[in-house]
Amino acid sequence: MNGELLTINKVLNNNVVITVDSVGNETVIIHKGIGFGKKQGAQIPVDNVEKVFILKDQKEQEQYKKLVPHLEENFIALMNDIIHHIQASVDGKLNEHIHIALTDHIAFVITRVQQGLTLKNPFLQETKTLYPKEYEIAKDVVAMINEHSNISLPEEEVGFIALHIHSSISYKSISEINQHSQLIHQLIFLIEKGLNVEIDREGLNYMRLVRHLRFTIERVKKGEIVEEPIKLKKVLQEEYPLCYNISWKVIKVMQQFLKQPVFEAEAVYLTIHLQRLSTKSE
């Protein structure tokens, strides 16, 4: 904003105001007490205010304006602290959409838990393994919610909130992230069935496998070329035919799910992970 004063166009509540700049561009300003005692036409120097969030995207502004009337002011203040904590814990700027998506999610969660209703999170372990940093931040967020609302959120909610955090950091939609978690969950089941093993979800090999599958999916989505190691492929085919065949089944499922081609080299590198798993299970 370069020190420019913003003029209040409308006060939504003590913590949210709608402002316009000198050329008439509208923004939504979120900050504890920023609207207290303010009237239309008042000017505010946003650059000098700590823990302030500015929604510039028009679509996000409109969604947030619709959400605000359904929220208590002290809850908006809590969300300001929560999103500030998330922002301070990550590199780069968060996607503005987190103010709508995470605020709406947490408001609904608090109501649901107070009514004695909880949701199962089938991808909790995958989320914990795929996004460890986001998961740790989400634990802090849950602690803040519990203290504020005098409730006790289940661990499942740590996983859901971690996905929202990752969505905001990566600028990917929750649906896309959930699809990848679902695919990895499916592939792990296929591997366990093929090898006739039950992989320890807290073990190092599980973590390595899940992250390998994640990076494989990301390479496929980006269309990255992976060169095939011919000599290694022949050795693995001869020495570990079961693991190699399961790897190919995994690759075929991945291709069908992502609707994109997967390089044969991916089956070779996956075979190495599966061989380690099959050895550990013996």
Which tokens in the block code for residue 171? 């600028």
- Residue in this structure with the two tokens 């089956």, named with its chain if needed: 267
Q: Which of 13, 32, 57 is the last residue of a domain?
A: 57
> Among the three residues 150, 172, 194, which one is the final residue of a domain in this structure?
172
The C-alpha atoms of residue 17 and residue 4 are separated, in whole angstroms, by 16
pLDDT in tens, 112-166: 998 888 888 888 999 999 999 999 999 999 999 999 999 999 999 999 999 999 9
Could you tell me the CATH number of the domain that includes residue 9?
2.30.24.10
What per-residue confidence (pLDDT) applies to 282? 47
Do residues 85 and 160 share a domain? yes
What is the pTM (predicted TM-score) of this model? 0.84
Q: Are 79 and 166 in the same domain?
A: yes
How large is the average pLDDT for residues 25-50? Answer: 83
Per-residue DSSP letter, 94 = P
pLDDT of 83 over the 80 cut: yes
Say if residue 2's pLDDT is above 60. no
Quick one: 9 and 45 in the same domain?
yes
For residue 43, give its domain range. Answer: 1-57
> Same structural domain for residues 137 and 94?
yes
Indicate whether 207 and 241 sit together in one domain. Answer: yes
pLDDT at 26: 86
Total domains in the chain come to 3
Instruction: Tell which of 172, 200, 217 closes a domain.
Output: 172
Q: 80 with 29, same domain? A: no
- In this structure, are 4 and 97 located in the same domain? no
As a whole number, mean pLDDT of residues 68-87 equals 93
79 located within any domain: yes
The whole-angstrom separation of Cα 264 and Cα 105 is 40
Confidence check: pLDDT of 281 > 60: no
3-class DSSP assignment, residue 200: coil
Residue 18: phi and psi, rounded to 5, are -105, 130
63 in any annotated domain: no
- Does the residue 5 lie in any domain? yes
pLDDT category at 23 given cuts 50, 70, 90 is confident
pLDDT of 264 strictly over 90: no
CATH value at residue 252? 1.10.1790.10
Q: Where are the alpha helices (DSSP H) in 35-97?
A: 58-67, 73-89
64 belongs to a structural domain: no
Lowest mean pLDDT among 17-31, 130-144, 154-168, 257-271: 17-31
Q: Which stretch, 2-11, 32-41, 53-62, 103-112, has highest mean pLDDT?
A: 103-112
Spatial distance between the Cα atoms of 242 and 173, rounded to a whole number of angstroms: 37
> What was the pLDDT predicted at 280?
61
Report which of residues 226 and 236 the model is more confident about.
236
If asked whether residues 154 and 200 sit together in one domain, one would say no
Report pLDDT for 49.
62
pLDDT of residue 231: 87
Same domain, 24 and 43: yes
Confidence of residue 1 (pLDDT cuts 50, 70, 90): very low
75 and 168 in a single domain? The answer is yes
Rounded to whole angstroms, the maximal C-alpha distance in the chain is 78
Same domain, 215 and 254: yes
Whether residues 277 and 182 fall in one domain = yes
Pairing of strands 16-20, 43-44: unpaired
- In this structure, is residue 219 part of a structural domain? yes
